[in-house]
Chain A
């Protein structure tokens, strides 16, 4: 038996140390303020922001949400205030938080991504970048980047070199690449990101899905298809993390369908060093903290004192 106060929950992502392995997933937690009244954001392992793009984006037409069996579809379309408004309106609050903040970066072209990473390099208070090459809900960029290994490697290489040239500590911020499960061989894409110099990978983004309203005889989502998330995708995410964490040497952050500690532990056993909770926050905002509690309990029960050693139990 291990004592709770002796548990080492910290996780290393490149040069960044996360205080614990449970973060909140991009797009499900806004920019931190929205959920602050409902759970203590400071106790999170990491906060991954909603995607930030170069220009402001209004997002896709409504409806943008649909219910599915044990899951949901979204087609938000990267709605966000844009890089500059992010810096002036969102970053000040984020800087006050006690948890690492990782900015999810998206774009339509390589230049878009590059300009955002470059600009954010001169702002402090950020823990790292999560490069979203896997959003299924935009016409250009997004997932298109995430399916071609050569493109992935080139983009990542470019972003890493921009990061390297940033002033001070910003030059050591980890570049995390977020992968799409909508590919034939995710191992290839993972290795391309690693070859490009990524410090870590996040798996998985949403699956492509569609719901049709049979009364109105049209897709529920205005855009037709959307991204499937929630418990329904849990086994897909676990299989991906199991595969990817064996295909690369860099750390893998697991997400997709986590709604309780047992789900998170599946990811950690499968090979993830950390996890993110997304959709489950909508159902139950306290989920991330409950997940963390359950991971602690597991470590005590199993006599594992370092969270990074959980994967060795499999």
Chain B
């Protein structure tokens, strides 16, 4: 009823292949973007930026990256933390070595460097599959983090093994460091993430995306109909790592400002991003956002609700929060194993039929 497609005719393939072929979707997205770009910046403060919006957006970017690899190409990776570290350390080395370099270029270059590292660690995927591959990618995770932690060069010989983001401007506006205005950081990340999401969407609906999905769904058949597994898997690793690397770059450069390899890019990070895409929906860009929102916001909301709202002791609240997070994950998996994105889709289908059940 509300969500009616009837009457929306498409008279050429181009419009059928548009990003949001249905008008309601288009409107919805435009409204969301409008709010995000125009309204939010006026209201956002330090807390909302640093505790909520930046982590959400940056994790969403990482989740898109991992989703390209895992959700679209079917290669489960637990090396996300390590690849984010590559992005972060590239950013650190690049900005300190070339202070004049535009930060946008720094982020892109960090992505590119991560992509090349990703390709190297993607090579085993040609032979190793499924959970074997997942566990094997932990080799990348542990090795990369160890390497950054170990060799002074990566840390500019800082004796304590921490890296710091020096303050940088783009077009005369301070963008990194503690003095950068929250709305500036937010908008910068928002623009970046939106463009990346759009590019990701474009990739997955084109030839490359289809060959990834083919590999995911049945790699042998894909090979037999002429998709080169080598090419498909390695591009997936490259593109995915590119995204994850950029996320790592923003994560360090804009959000945290300082990072220690083992703590900031540990294996928890890898798992966190993996949760996001599974809960959000494998093989869905929208799902990456929903998953990131759930995993980053849910604990905070629960905590604030329990501590500020119910007045529970902090520690009790934390224990309940952990338990509840687990329960919610299980609950949503049982309700819809294919994540929020699928839930959203079902909701749309129901809306389309409403008020009839079928």
B is bound to A:
no
A-side residues, CB < 8 A to B, are none
